[in-house]
Structure 1
Amino acid sequence: MKTIFITGASSGIGKATAEYFAEKGWQVIATMRNLTKGEDLAKLPNVIIMPLDVTNSKQIHETCQEAISKYDIDVLFNNAGYGLMAPMEVATEEEIHQLFNTDVIGTMLVTQEFIPYFKKRESGTILTTTSLAGIIALPLDGVYGAAKRALTSMCESIYYELKPFNVAVKVMIPGGTHTPFQVPHKDVTGYEKASENQRKYLLDGNAQFPLADEAVEVIYTAATDGKDKIHYPTDRVCQKLYDQYMNTNIEDFKIDFYHLLFETEKH
C-alpha cells in the first residue's frame, strides 16, 4: 500500500485529496492545525490524522519525523496555505510575515524534513500546491502571488537537486477553484472594476470555478504517472489560461491584460 503525507488537509483541495487517495486504496496521513476538523476523515479506512501547524517549526520537525519513522511514505503533498487579496500598500507588515510564514517558510521546512528521507530511499515524489497567480502576476495578488512564485522557484530548484536520487518534484497549479479557500484579507477598494474583470478572466466564461474534484484527479495523476514533468495546472480552465500565457510574449501579454482589466483601448 502506497502512502501520501498531506499538509492542510482539513478543507478544500487538501481534504478532497485525502478522500480521493483513500478511495484509491492509499494510506493517507492527513495533517492539519485543528484536529477536530479532521474527525470525518479519521473515520475513513487507511486515514491517519496528525497535528501540524506549518508556522510551528518545532511541530513540523516532530510530526514529520514521527510520520517518517512509523510509515513508508511515497508522496509528500505540500498543500497548506491561504490567500490575501489587496493592493500592495494595504497589506500590513504582520499580514505579509504571516502569509509568508505559512505559505512559503512552512512549506520549505516541511520539505526539508522529507528530502533526506527520500534521498536515502532513492524514490519519492514531492507535490506542492502553488497557484496560477504564481505564474501570471495578477493585480491585488502582490503578496500572495509573490509567495506562490517563491514556491514555484523552490520546486524548480530542488527538481535538479533530487532528480539524481530518483525523487520527483512537481508543482500543482490551481486557478480559481470552488473550495472554501481562506482569504482573510480581501480589499479591492479603488480596483473594483479590475477585480471584477480579473474574476471573469479566471472564470473563462463559466458560471463558477471548477470543483476540487477536478484538481484531485490531476494531483493523483501527478503522483502516479511517473512522468518527468514539473508543472501541472489542476483543471481545464487553468490549463487553458496557463497555455495561453506560456505561448504569448510576456510584454504583449502585459499590454493586453492591462487593457482587459481596466477596459481601456490599445493605442
Structure 2
Amino acid sequence: MMKTIFITGASSGIGKATAELFSANGWRVIATMRNLEKGKDLTELPNVVIMPLDVADSEQIKATCRKVLETYDVDVLLNNAGYGIMAPLERIPEAEIRRLFDTDVIGTMLVTQQFIPHFKHRRAGAILTTTSLAGTIAFPRDTVYGAAKRAQEGMVESLYYEMKPFNVAVKSMIPGGTKTNFQTPLNDAEGYEQAAARQRAYLLDGNAEFPLPNEAAQIIWQAATDGKDQLRYPTDSVCRKLYDQYLTMGAERFKEYFSQLLFE
C-alpha cells in the first residue's frame, strides 16, 4: 500500500528536495505551497499532488488539511514552511516580528493541530518539523528568527510526550546553513559586519558552500522511515558537528567561545 507524506513549503529548497526524494521512493506526496505556479514542475513527478497552502492563513489551513485528510491516509506530516529575518532586534518593525511568528510558529502549530486527531486515531505515523540550528545555538541578528525556531523546538518536544502513548513519532529536523533560496526579506548587518562574516565562516566550517537541500531530504527520509525513538536530527554533517559542539560545551562555555570567535 502506497504511503503518503504531506509537506508544507514544498515549492523550493528542503521542501521541494524532500518531495522529489519521497516521490522517487514510491510515496504519494501532497506538496503544499503558497504559490502553485512555483511548484508546478513537481506535478511531472509520479504520485505528486500540489495544493495551495499559506500557513499564515488559518482558514486555508483548515480547508486544505480537511480536504487532504478526507481523501488520503497520511503517514507523515512535514512542517517545513517558513522564512527568516536577520537584523538587530532594535531595527525590526513590530509588523515584521508578528508576521514571522504568524508563519513560522503559529502556522506550524495550526497545521499540526489539524493532523493530531488523524494520527491518534491510526496510532501510527510521524510528525516532522523543520526547525533550525538557530533554534539551539543563538546568533547575533537572530533574535526574532531564533526565538521562533526555539518555539518550534518547544512545540516538538512537548508534542513528543503527547503523542508517545499513541505510537506517533514526533521529530525535529535541524538544518544549519543550507544552499537554498531560503527567504530572508529583512537582512540588516549594519554595525555587525565583522560578526556576520565570521558567523558565516563558522557555519561553513571550512567548506566553500553550504550543503545542498538534498542532504537534508535524505535525513528527513531517514527520520520518517527508521522507526527510531529519536527526537532531533541535524540534517547535514556540518550542522551535526556544530550541534554536537554546542551540546558538549554547554551554553556558558559556548557563549565565551563564540563571543571570542565573533568579536575578538
TM-score by length of 2: 0.99
For structure 1, the residue ranges without an aligned partner over 5 or more in a row are none
**Which SS does the other structure have where 1:170 is aligned?**
strand
Q: What's the counterpart of residue 15 of structure 1?
A: 16
Q: What's the counterpart of residue 136 of structure 2?
A: 135
Q: What's the counterpart of residue 262 of structure 1?
A: 263
Matched, 1:186 2:183: no
**C-alpha separation in 1, matches of 2:106 and 2:193:** 31
**Which SS does the other structure have where 1:147 is aligned?**
helix
Q: Deviations over 1:34-92 (max 9, x none)?
A: 11112100111100011100011000001001000100100000000000000010110
Q: Deviations over 1:19-45 (max 9, x none)?
A: 110001000000001111121001111
Q: What's the counterpart of residue 46 of structure 2?
A: 45
Equivalent residue runs for 1:40-189 within 5 Å: 40-189=41-190
Moved beyond 3 Å, runs of 4+: none
Q: Kindly state the Cα deviation for residue 249 of structure 1 after the two structures are TM-superposed.
A: 2.5
Q: What's the counterpart of residue 197 of structure 1?
A: 198
CA RMSD of aligned residues (A): 0.5
Matched, 1:220 2:221: yes
Query: Number of residue pairs matched?
Result: 263
For structure 2, the residue ranges without an aligned partner over 5 or more in a row are none
Q: What one-letter code is carried by the residue in structure 2 that aligns with 1:110?
A: V
**Which SS does the other structure have where 2:183 is aligned?**
coil
Q: What's the counterpart of residue 249 of structure 1?
A: 250
Q: What one-letter code is carried by the residue in structure 2 that aligns with 1:79?
A: N
Q: Kindly state the Cα deviation for residue 124 of structure 1 after the two structures are TM-superposed.
A: 1.1
**C-alpha separation in 1, matches of 2:214 and 2:72:** 27
Q: Deviations over 1:104-148 (max 9, x none)?
A: 000000000000110011111000000000100111000000000
Q: Kindly state the Cα deviation for residue 213 of structure 1 after the two structures are TM-superposed.
A: 1.1
Q: Deviations over 1:147-172 (max 9, x none)?
A: 00000000000100000000000000
TM-score by length of 1: 0.98
**C-alpha separation in 2, matches of 1:159 and 1:39:** 34
Q: What one-letter code is carried by the residue in structure 2 that aligns with 1:251?
A: E
**Which SS does the other structure have where 1:77 is aligned?**
strand
Sequence identity, in percent? 68
